[in-house]
Amino acid sequence: MSVIKPSSFLSSSVHSISGTVSNLNNELLEYVNPEKPTHDHSSAYYQRFYVSNFNLNDRAIQAKFSTPMSIQDGDSVTVSGYPKGNTFQVLAYHNTTQQVVGTENWFVLALGALFFLAVAIGLLNSELVIEGALVPKLFLLGFVGVAIYMGYRALLIREAISLLQG
């Protein structure tokens, strides 16, 4: 059995905390696409995020996932993520009481990063960028920035998962 060691690049920002859940508060954030027709209420126009705020051994924890976390007050949980201000942002969790593991899909983020990078490479070869036009260069910079962010976020989630397994 091989043990995956956290990479030195990410290990300083990602770590895990274990404890008992208390003061659980679940919220639903719902964003509506501004192009949604007034008469159409299909779910295709809504983006939902499930936010769980709780304490883990008196430390403030916040988790934002596309599906609700499977936790309750009193559960024994290990979370991995990074500190942000006064709260700890969860990237992955393992509920040992309910035997549930949860995380965002790092693979989809990695594929999204590759897509945006491919679009940027395609834009790089366009005549407008070669001629030196400003707007295509700004789009190129934007696509590369989004690709880097999505790739970095995928690596953080992958690192958080490996901390829970190790």
pLDDT attached to residue 125: 77
Confidence of residue 58 (pLDDT cuts 50, 70, 90): confident
- Is 15 inside a domain boundary? yes
Across residues 3-8, what is the average pLDDT? 44
Confidence of residue 48 (pLDDT cuts 50, 70, 90): confident
Whole-structure pTM value = 0.77
| Residue 60: strand pairing partners | 55
Instruction: Give residue-wise pLDDT tens across range 18-34.
Output: 999 999 999 988 777 67
Instruction: Give residue-wise pLDDT tens across range 75-133.
Output: 999 999 999 889 999 999 999 999 999 998 899 999 999 999 998 888 877 777 677 77
pLDDT attached to residue 3: 37
- Is 1 inside a domain boundary? no
**Among 80, 73, 84, residue whose Cα is nearest residue 102:** 80
- Is 116 inside a domain boundary? yes
DSSP 8-state secondary structure symbol assigned to residue 44: G
| Cα 18 from Cα 39, distance rounded (Å) | 47
Number of folded domains in the chain?
1
- Is 3 inside a domain boundary? no
Look up the domain containing 42 and give its range.
Answer: 8-165
Q: How far is CA 163 from the centre of its chain?
A: 16
Task: Answer yes or no: is pLDDT of 6 > 50.
Answer: no
Task: Answer yes or no: is pLDDT of 4 > 50.
Answer: no
- Is 45 inside a domain boundary? yes
Which conformational region is residue 74 in: left (phi greater than 0), alpha (psi within -120 to 50 degrees), or beta? Answer: left
- Is 155 inside a domain boundary? yes
Six-digit token string for 99? 């035997």
- Is 37 inside a domain boundary? yes
Going from the C-alpha of 131 to that of each of 109, 143, 145, the distances in angstroms are 32, 19, 22
- Is 2 inside a domain boundary? no
